[in-house]
Amino acid sequence: MSTLNRLVLWNIDHTLVDVGRVTREAYAEAFQRTIGRPLIRLAPTPGRTESEIIFETLAFNDVVTTDDHLPAFVAALAEAFATRRAELRTHGRVLAGAQEAVAALAHVPGVVQSVLTGAVQPNAVLKVTELGLAEHLDLDSGGYENGVYSKAALLELARTRAGERHGTRYPESATVYIADSPRDVQAAHIAGSPIIAVATGSATEAELRAAGADHVLATLADTHAVVSAVADLTRL
């Protein structure tokens, strides 16, 4: 039987890693540099793209936005993360089972792994690289915040990129998204791809099931359960 080509797309924050402290500090610095005063309130982040977080954060802090705010804030945020490379290693952590799950899927024939994240590409790459997860991820195929597309559209873009890079086609049914929020579940549904939801973020298992996730796991700690869920959803 021929090997089935499958694409596994990982959400990063609260699915693979927790870098919340560094993220909050970087946003505070970027806000100060862009707006010229201290950040009071950061918008909720689960399942959102960087632009959504930025615009809502600006609104929460009574900033009247202009067309210049987003690119300036994104640039400042990337710089703020870059200067915190060491802090990512010190204060960030890989979530239970993430390293093992990524490594196990890398040994399944026909599987390519990348990321689908609301973070801008430089910050996303820093997170997985500094925390030792990049080895088995094709980061050039990933879907990243670019100020234009929703996560659902970024999923489609990642499928196209991966297909072009690997000389094959990844149908919707053979592309699995692994993430932690109901908004991610919604994005996968819009894009027509199955999703494994992990209750390692702010959403409970019950909330993820109610959102319509195809598989729900408490954590990634059971490597066999992760690999089996990918296999089941891609009809192996």
d(CA 164, CA 203): 34
Q: Please say whether the beta carbons of 166 and 187 come within 8 A.
A: no
Residue 30 to residue 179: CA distance in whole angstroms: 26
pLDDT tens sequence across 202-231? 999 999 999 999 999 999 999 999 999 999
Q: At a CB cut-off of 8 Å and minimum separation 6, what does 104 contact?
A: 223, 226, 227
CA atoms within 13 A on the CB side of 178: 29
pTM for the model: 0.94
Encode pLDDT of 52-81 as tens digits: 999 999 999 999 988 899 999 999 999 999
pLDDT tens readout for residues 90-146: 999 999 999 999 999 999 999 999 999 999 999 999 999 999 999 999 999 999 988
Give dist(CA 35, CA 160) in Å, integer.
37
In the numeric block, which tokens belong to residue 61? 């802090």
Which residues on neighbouring strands pair with residue 172, listed in sequence order? none
Q: What is the pLDDT of residues 134-193, one digit of tens each?
A: 999 999 999 998 876 789 999 999 999 999 999 999 999 999 999 999 999 999 999 999
